[in-house]
Amino acid sequence: MSVLEQLGLRAKEASPVLRGASTGQKNAALGEIARALREQCGAVLEANGEDIANARQNGMSAALIDRLTLTRERVFAMAEGVEQIAALPDPIGEVMEGFTRPNGLEIIKKRVPMGVIGIIYEARPNVTVDAAALCLKSGNVCLLRGGKEAIHSNMALAGIMSRAVEKTGLPGDCVLLLEDISRETAAQMMRMNGVLDVLIPRGGAGLIRSVVQNATVPVIETGTGNCHVYVDSSADLEMAEKIIVNAKAQRPSVCNAAETLLVHREVAERFLPAAGEALKKAGVTLYGCPETCRILPGTAAATEEDYATEYLDYKLAVRVVESLDEAIAHIRRYSTGHSEAIVTRDYESSRRFTAQVDSAAVYVNASTRFTDGGEFGFGAEIGISTQKLHARGPMGLREMTTYQYIIKGSGQIR
Amino acid sequence: MSVLEQLGLRAKEASPVLRGASTGQKNAALGEIARALREQCGAVLEANGEDIANARQNGMSAALIDRLTLTRERVFAMAEGVEQIAALPDPIGEVMEGFTRPNGLEIIKKRVPMGVIGIIYEARPNVTVDAAALCLKSGNVCLLRGGKEAIHSNMALAGIMSRAVEKTGLPGDCVLLLEDISRETAAQMMRMNGVLDVLIPRGGAGLIRSVVQNATVPVIETGTGNCHVYVDSSADLEMAEKIIVNAKAQRPSVCNAAETLLVHREVAERFLPAAGEALKKAGVTLYGCPETCRILPGTAAATEEDYATEYLDYKLAVRVVESLDEAIAHIRRYSTGHSEAIVTRDYESSRRFTAQVDSAAVYVNASTRFTDGGEFGFGAEIGISTQKLHARGPMGLREMTTYQYIIKGSGQIR
């Protein structure tokens, strides 16, 4: 039996026990995880030191090493994150609806855990703790597969969590880590039909593409955001400037950052000089359509590729459009379905934009940066879904569940 | 550009128009489809005649030819089905929830169409009409790929529907049929990422397995039902007998029919002789565990394989269990997660069975045959989901939708 088959069996054993755990039991396990992370912080930092030494030896970039690095502060922040998840309402057991059929059958639709959730991610060890805690709270066994760069950190963290869970009486196998981090086991994990109820990739576009292309288990595609801000002819231009600067430059590396600015021709001459200046001040380089380049001489020309790119950087494509319709058509063509915003003072423009733009989050007069589990009030998130099946936008605890129908009868037959 | 790429482009063009159609427009299109099907019934029957002639020539079995055969009555029944779908409430536009964040952002979660739904199915031409009508009503463009045995019927039906839709002012491309029915185009269709928002296979286990294994677009797995009926020690044995006979024999070819009977040891001696007789009378052959074979001499021995098989036939595996826990463990091991029933008079048994059995539909004292869109009151169904992502159990119009967040602000930035 392969390592992965063994893990699969253990997951399937633990799943019904965790499914039946009370909110109190799950919260106790989360509390114990937080306590153990703080108490065994030294062991975590030691393991992390090994990963960092290896990374340096392999010539990893400073930015990636920073993502990989744990400090006492960062480990304590993870523990606090776990406690915050414990404090969230338990989604399991909610009766979502219920009705009685003419034949007397009483049907309720009840929220239940998915079962076993696989998470494939990259070199950030905090995902190990975050994902495990979210899965545990939502009653799901997690099977984690992190990047090989973080394997020692992940083994230390998963071991601490598993032992902590076991200490409170739930199966230690509620938190499972795939320690064999070869490409082959990753590929096998994507085909664990009958074990994984869903697989969630968390990471860059390459990882997500690979999972979508190779998985035979159900996948939730997350986190690709080619987001747009459209400045309508009626926009409050001061507001529009603040929104585009925020949407682009407040944190360019995240999926809800804006990548293209669309400006209605009627306001382009008035809006672009000041907005371009403000963006430049924020460190942003523009890639403009011919009209943008005419208004802002010296701007680099945007290519088709620019419109299609999620820069995740201090770069912004800018295009002047003739109409709201042209803006919507541009978004329809290039968007990844994540988040789009219109800045407008016109009722009908706001109505048409929100009705016709088919992205997970559509904003009027606000920054795209709000597409986030915390900002939506979900308390935490496992990712931002950019597919239409199951969940769209920020996925909190509730989006990590499914439902079942419970039907009570008195002998009904057909 | 391949045929499929062209269809993809047409689907993407039609989708936003259909997305924006009012309930009235969609119902008018459905009404026109029903009218056109009746009016052009002759052309449908003629095309169907070609398929039947080919099927005969290819030595298709009588049962399959019956599934393929259309009559005036069957075409008129399809038309009536379309009118019934038109009469159902429109799921689109429902505000599922809404809230205001502390920063003043007003967020609503709104039900919207998926976009483009692919359906791959086998030789039943009625699926062509049924699937197209359900997709249309739920605001989704459908891309249909039926079995090659029904290609002439499907072309006639899809052509009639497409022209009918166009006549009412919506794009004819709301109903698209893949006419090139080679294996290659089917494989390509399963990988139409960026066009298909979901792919739903409707048909036998082989088709569904092939789609799950090969698709890179999101799939909803439907219709595999290895369903169980468990007769508890406290069961009303008369009720139990009626339920198992109904669950097994009322229509054995469907996915919600029972395939295994589990009986508590305490009642096995009293229950099995009469139940076995009643099942035999209904034409059912039993495959029993050793204890069953002792109580009912002459019963064929059940193998592991019997417990794992969805017979879809007048066959039933029977196993005597020591306890409720053993029944639940058996179900956990062999079930496909479709429908299971307990027959009991004991409150705690009913509570534990419904809490611990993790199938889409869990019954107390009723037949598994009720897992059906019509019986649940959904009016119609596109299939019964046996996966946990997105939807479980009967999928009606509402389950063919997704949602988006619409966020109204007044200049909020982070």
- Put simply, the answer to whether A101 touches B375 (Cβ < 8 Å) is yes
Task: Say if A11 is an interface residue toward chain B (CB within 8 Å).
Answer: no
Residue A329 bridge partners (DSSP): none
Nearest to A389 among B218, B236, B366 (CB): B218
Helix (H, G, I), strand (E, B) or coil at A346: coil
Q: Mutation target for A interface from B99, B358, B382: give the one with most A CBs within 10 A.
A: B358
Nearest to B409 among A112, A364, A377 (CB): A364
Interatomic CA distance for residues A309 and B238, integer angstroms = 67
Would the pLDDT of B380 be above 90? Answer: no
Nearest to B370 among A356, A362, A414 (CB): A414
Confidence of residue B171 (pLDDT cuts 50, 70, 90): very high
CB atoms closer than 10 angstroms to residue B97: 10
List chain B residues with CB under 8 Å of A218: 218-219, 387-389
Question: Comparing A3-221+393-408 with A227-370, is the CATH topology the same?
Answer: no
Residues 6+ apart with CB under 8 A from A387: A220, A221, A337, B197, B218
Tokens linked to A110: 């009840």
Query: In chain B, which residue's Cα lies nearest the Cα of A408?
Result: B364
- Put simply, the answer to whether A360 touches B105 (Cβ < 8 Å) is no
**How many Å lie between the alpha carbon of B354 and the closest alpha carbon of chain A?**
7
Would the pLDDT of A81 be above 90? Answer: yes
List chain B residues with CB under 8 Å of A399: none
Residue B317 bridge partners (DSSP): B260, B287
Mean pLDDT across the stretch B274-285? 98
**Which residue matches tokens 């995880």?**
A33
Domain boundaries, chain A: 3-221+393-408, 227-370
What φ, ψ does residue B51 adopt, rounded to 5°?
A: -60, -40
Q: Mutation target for B interface from A389, A395, A408: give the one with most B CBs within 10 A.
A: A389
Residues 6+ apart with CB under 8 A from B220: A389, B198, B199, B200, B383, B385, B387, B389, B390, B391, B395
- Put simply, the answer to whether A405 touches B376 (Cβ < 8 Å) is yes
Would the pLDDT of B31 be above 90? Answer: yes
- In tens, the pLDDT along B194-217 reads 999 999 999 888 999 999 999 999
Confidence of residue B345 (pLDDT cuts 50, 70, 90): very high
- In tens, the pLDDT along A251-301 reads 999 999 999 999 999 999 999 999 999 999 999 999 999 999 999 999 999
State the pTM of this model.
0.95
- In tens, the pLDDT along A219-242 reads 999 988 999 999 999 999 999 999
Residue A287 bridge partners (DSSP): A300, A317
Mean pLDDT across the stretch B156-164? 98
Q: What number of C-beta contacts closer than 8 Å exist between A and B? A: 195
Confidence of residue A1 (pLDDT cuts 50, 70, 90): confident
Would the pLDDT of A205 be above 90? Answer: no
Q: Mutation target for B interface from A197, A199, A404, A410: give the one with most B CBs within 10 A.
A: A404
Would the pLDDT of A10 be above 90? Answer: yes
Q: Is A412 exposed, middle or buried (0-12, 13-18, 19+ CB in 10 A)?
A: buried
pLDDT of residue A63: 87
Mean pLDDT across the stretch A92-104? 97
A228 within 8 A of A262, measured Cβ to Cβ: yes
- In tens, the pLDDT along A22-80 reads 999 999 999 999 999 999 999 999 999 999 999 999 999 998 899 999 999 999 999 99
Given this structure, which CATH class describes domain A3-221+393-408? alpha beta
Interatomic CA distance for residues A94 and A96, integer angstroms = 6
Interatomic CA distance for residues B384 and B254, integer angstroms = 11
Nearest to A411 among B239, B369, B407 (CB): B239
Interatomic CA distance for residues A228 and B403, integer angstroms = 19
Mean pLDDT across the stretch B243-253? 97
pLDDT-above-70 percentage for chain A: 100
Which helix (DSSP H) or strand (DSSP E) does residue A411 occupy?
strand A401-412
Tokens linked to B336: 């496909």
List chain A residues with CB under 8 Å of B392: 402-405
Tokens linked to B146: 């039926």
B341 within 8 A of B364, measured Cβ to Cβ: yes
- Put simply, the answer to whether A365 touches B411 (Cβ < 8 Å) is yes
Nearest to A404 among B19, B358, B412 (CB): B358
Mean pLDDT across the stretch B134-163? 97
Query: Strand A285-288 to strand A198-202: parallel, antiparallel, or no bridges (unpaired)?
Result: unpaired
CB atoms closer than 10 angstroms to residue B292: 23
| Contact map slice: A 169-208 vs B, CB within 8 A | 193, 197-198
**How many Å lie between the alpha carbon of A376 and the closest alpha carbon of chain B?**
7
Would the pLDDT of B223 be above 90? Answer: no
Interatomic CA distance for residues B189 and B4, integer angstroms = 7
List chain B residues with CB under 8 Å of A112: 358
Tokens linked to A363: 């904003």
| Contact map slice: A 389-408 vs B, CB within 8 A | 389-390, 392-393, 402-408
Query: In chain A, which residue's Cα lies nearest the Cα of B13?
Result: A332
- In tens, the pLDDT along B43-77 reads 999 999 999 999 999 999 998 899 999 999 999 99
Q: What is the largest CA-CA distance in chain A?
A: 79
A136 within 8 A of A171, measured Cβ to Cβ: no
Q: Is A231 exposed, middle or buried (0-12, 13-18, 19+ CB in 10 A)?
A: buried
Nearest to A358 among B19, B246, B390 (CB): B19
* CATH hierarchy code of domain A227-370: 3.40.309.10
Query: In chain A, which residue's Cα lies nearest the Cα of B353?
Result: A406
Nearest to B389 among A198, A407, A408 (CB): A198
**How many Å lie between the alpha carbon of A38 and the closest alpha carbon of chain B?**
31
Query: In chain B, which residue's Cα lies nearest the Cα of A190?
Result: B213
| Contact map slice: A 57-86 vs B, CB within 8 A | none
Interatomic CA distance for residues A191 and B59, integer angstroms = 37
Lowest mean pLDDT among A182-186, B128-132, B258-262: A182-186
pLDDT of residue B106: 98
- Put simply, the answer to whether A402 touches B392 (Cβ < 8 Å) is yes
Q: Which segments of B100-253 does DSSP mark as H helices, in order?
A: 126-137, 151-167, 183-189, 205-214, 237-249
Task: Say if A237 is an interface residue toward chain B (CB within 8 Å).
Answer: no
Residues 6+ apart with CB under 8 A from A364: A341, A342, A343, A344, A350, A353, A354, B406, B407, B408, B409
DSSP string, B293-312: HHHSTTPEEP-HHHHH----
Interatomic CA distance for residues B247 and B261, integer angstroms = 10
Interatomic CA distance for residues B414 and B412, integer angstroms = 7
Q: Alpha carbon of B232 to those of A414, B341, B349: distances in Å? A: 21, 10, 8
pLDDT of residue A213: 95
pLDDT of residue A405: 98
Residues 6+ apart with CB under 8 A from A390: A198, A218, A220, A399, B389, B390
Q: Enter the DSSP assignment of A299.
A: P
Angle at B268 between CA B265 and CA B269, to 5 degrees: 120
- In tens, the pLDDT along A332-342 reads 999 999 999 99
Reference A392, options B174, B351, B114, B237; nearest CA is: B114
What φ, ψ does residue B172 adopt, rounded to 5°?
A: -60, -25
Measure the N-to-C terminal CA separation of chain B; round to a whole number of Å: 45
- Put simply, the answer to whether B361 touches A404 (Cβ < 8 Å) is yes
Reference A295, options A266, A324, A316, A259; nearest CA is: A266
Kindly report the average pLDDT of chain B as a whole number.
97
pLDDT of residue A362: 98
Beta strands in B338-380 (DSSP E): 339-343, 361-366
A101 within 8 A of B377, measured Cβ to Cβ: yes
Confidence of residue B251 (pLDDT cuts 50, 70, 90): very high
Task: Say if A354 is an interface residue toward chain B (CB within 8 Å).
Answer: yes
Interatomic CA distance for residues A324 and A263, integer angstroms = 9
Residues 6+ apart with CB under 8 A from A91: A111, A138, A397, A398, A400, A401
Q: Mutation target for A interface from B389, B398, B401: give the one with most A CBs within 10 A.
A: B389
Query: In chain B, which residue's Cα lies nearest the Cα of A362?
Result: B406
Mean pLDDT across the stretch A407-413? 98
